[in-house]
């Protein structure tokens, strides 16, 4: 785990209403995470508060930088700054572990701005209901148009696949795929 901090080790564990507690507390925690991230030149991608095995909370913060990769040093600086804010404001009333990391190479795609931002990248999408007879797709993101993700499925047998439109509301999960064979732009391929 990158940037891990254990806090409040003697605190009592919460009751079965833990999911409501996490949902109610998360906006305040996200605000603290933003306040810790922005002075370090990074932004909050998302945060989550989840109960771990054994009862302690895990407050996971995912940071990103639009112009470069996240480094271990970025995670350490945000962890230190955020741990001070958490100590001062003390929003979590029980034991927790703080984890700060990057979203990873195979990061989840969580909203329409992610589909726009990663247009041209390889992704994996799982839909709630079938689109063109399928629910699982691997291919290239093409952005968003009229509440649909434009998506070109990967070549599966020689023919150039036609782009499809996947309604954002029909997407169950999506994430970037690690592209081990990056494609060259057409101008480089013909050279």
Per residue, the 3-state secondary structure of 3-14, as one string, reads CCEEECCCCCCC
pLDDT in the model for residue 3? 45
pLDDT in the model for residue 12? 39
pLDDT in the model for residue 187? 59
CA distance 71 to 86: 22
CA distance 59 to 92: 9
- 113 is written with which tokens? 């701005």
As beta bridge partners, residue 151 has 141, 164
CA distance 144 to 112: 7
User: Class for domain 112-178, per CATH?
Assistant: mainly beta
pLDDT in the model for residue 66? 83
Give pLDDT tens digits for 161-186.
788 999 999 999 999 998 877 666 55
Asked if 92 and 13 touch (Cβ cutoff 8 Å), the reply is no
As beta bridge partners, residue 173 has 126
- 152 is written with which tokens? 């070109």
pLDDT in the model for residue 169? 96
Give pLDDT tens digits for 51-92.
888 888 999 999 999 888 999 999 999 999 999 999 999 999
**Domain limits, the chain:** 5-101, 112-178
Give pLDDT tens digits for 100-147.
999 999 999 999 999 999 999 999 999 999 998 999 999 999 999 999
Give pLDDT tens digits for 4-60.
444 433 333 444 456 678 888 999 999 999 999 999 999 999 999 998 888 889 999
Cα angle 171-177-161, degrees, rounded to a multiple of 5:
70
What average pLDDT does the segment 146-169 reach?
Answer: 85
- The answer to whether domain 5-101 has CATH 3.30.300.70 is yes
CA distance 66 to 136: 28
> Which residues have a Cβ under 8 Å from the Cβ of 55 and sit 6 or more positions away?
13, 95
């Amino acid at each position: 785990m990158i940037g891990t901090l254990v806090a409040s080790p003697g605190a009592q564990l919460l009751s079965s209403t833990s999911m409501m507690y996490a949902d109610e507390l998360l906006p305040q925690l996200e605000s603290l995470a933003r306040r810790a991230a922005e002075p370090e030149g990074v932004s909050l991608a998302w945060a989550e508060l989840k109960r771990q095995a054994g009862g302690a909370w895990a407050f996971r913060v995912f940071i990103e930088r639009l112009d470069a990769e996240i480094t271990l040093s970025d995670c350490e600086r945000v962890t230190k700054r955020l741990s001070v804010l958490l100590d001062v404001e003390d929003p979590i009333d029980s034991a927790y572990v703080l984890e700060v990391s990057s979203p990873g190479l195979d990061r989840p795609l969580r909203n329409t701005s992610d589909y726009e931002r990663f247009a041209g990248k390889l992704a994996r999408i799982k839909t709630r209901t079938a689109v063109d007879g399928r629910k699982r797709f691997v291919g290239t993101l093409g952005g968003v148009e009229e509440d649909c993700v434009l998506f070109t499925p990967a070549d599966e047998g020689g023919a150039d696949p036609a782009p499809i439109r996947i309604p954002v509301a029909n997407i169950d999960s999506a994430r970037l795929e690690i592209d081990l064979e990056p494609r060259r732009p057409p101008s480089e391929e013909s050279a």
